[in-house]
Amino acid sequence: MAVYKQTYRPYDGTLTEPRWRFWVLARYAFEQVFAWRLMLIFFVLCYVPTLIGGTFIYLHHNLDALLAFQIPVEEILAVDADFFLVIMGFQSTLAFFMTAVVGPGLVSPDLTNGALPLYLSRPFTRSEYVLGKFAVLATLLSLITWIPGMLLFLMQSALEAGWMMSNLRIATAIVAGSVAWILTISLLALALSAWVKWRPVAGAMLFGIFFAVAAFGGAFNGILRTDWGLMMMLPVVINAVWQWLFYGVVAARDYPLPVWTAFMSLGITCGVSLWMLARKVRAYEVVR
């Protein structure tokens, strides 16, 4: 109907598939995120580690190029688990900054202006709402972590016959390690965004959780002469998980605790974040 016929009419057309409706939230959020030019520039910069990694792999397999640049062959590092772990470290740091910028703006604007009843009065559940918001971060972070990581893996596999089959563990580690990181920081960012309605404060709190809690963990270790405080240091914990995924063992100097404690620490972080979201993502809060 044309807009000049100004009247009310019901809708009896086709409906979209309910199970994919959470993606509507993600689609609108992407439009908003990339409307900010600085964000777009930052997103492109997140591919720098991948480009450097790709260049390195190319040089590694191109003797002519090494000679042209006068790089001694013995100085070229092997493309192995160490190489991918370093690349992943850079990518994950950038992913953390991306989360700190995008994450706080996902839930807090809905809570500040009472928009949740608008979402939840539709055939759309609280879980779908959280899933939709999570999908924003999960997609953005995947695009700068495990997807380019896997492209590098495939590039190396294509350039060296038989390398892929003997290094399948690396592929698993790239995907599983990145997913663990994405899950943890995304849920944490969403939970903070739901609890702290002011966007800049929510962003600052994400840094606070990482660095202040890590400092507390360090103090805990120092005072009680124990290592259990390491479980509070998320960067140390995720590094232990990555080491285990890439090598099957964790260096005792980096993480002297059993490796399951690292997984438990991530699990607790995710669980608490989900609990915080469950408490806050409601159409109406019942005031005590």
Partner 1 sequence: MTIPTIELDHLSVTFNGRPILEDLEGSLSGRAIGLLGPNGAGKSTLMQTLLGFHAPSSGTARILGMDIRTRAREIRHHVGYMPENDAFIAGMNAVRLVRMMGELSGLPKEEALERTHETLFFLGLGEARYRPIETYSLGMKQLAKLAVAIVHGPRMLVLDEPTNGLDANARRRMIEIIRQIRDSGHTQLILSSHLLRDVEECCDEVLILKDGKIVVYTNLEQERRENRKFLQVEARGETSAFLRMVEARGCELAVNGSSKIKMVLPAEVEIRDLYRMAADTGVQIGKIDYKRDSLQDIFLKAMEAPNGRL
The footprint of partner 1 (CB under 8 A) covers 1, 3-16, 18, 21, 24-25, 28, 32, 109-110, 112-115, 117-125, 282-284, 286, 288
The tokens for 95 are 């992913």
Residue 70 or 121: which CB sits closer to partner 1? 121
Which is nearest to 155 in space by CA: 142, 174, 179? 174
Residue 7 or 166: which CB sits closer to partner 1? 7
Q: Apex CA 238: angle with CA 180 and CA 166, to 5°?
A: 75
Percentages (nearest 5) of helix, strand, coil residues in the chain: 75, 0, 25
CA atoms of 101 and 119, how far apart (whole Å): 24
User: Nearest approach, Cβ of 287 to partner 1 (angstroms)?
Assistant: 8
How many Å separate Cα 163 from the centre of its chain? 28
User: Nearest approach, Cβ of 191 to partner 1 (angstroms)?
Assistant: 19
User: Nearest approach, Cβ of 125 to partner 1 (angstroms)?
Assistant: 7
Residue 117 or 222: which CB sits closer to partner 1? 117
Alpha helix stretches (DSSP H) within 145-233: 146-159, 163-166, 168-195, 199-224
Q: At what angle do helices 126-144 and 104-112 cross, to 10 degrees?
A: 150
Residue 253 or 288: which CB sits closer to partner 1? 288
Give the CA-trace dihedral at 241, 242, 248, 254, to 10 degrees: -70
Residue 90 or 119: which CB sits closer to partner 1? 119
- How far apart, in Å, are the Cα atoms of 70 and each of 73, 75, 208? 9, 11, 46
Residue 129 or 255: which CB sits closer to partner 1? 129
User: Nearest approach, Cβ of 25 to partner 1 (angstroms)?
Assistant: 8
User: Nearest approach, Cβ of 136 to partner 1 (angstroms)?
Assistant: 14
User: Nearest approach, Cβ of 109 to partner 1 (angstroms)?
Assistant: 5
Which is nearest to 101 in space by CA: 24, 196, 182, 33? 33
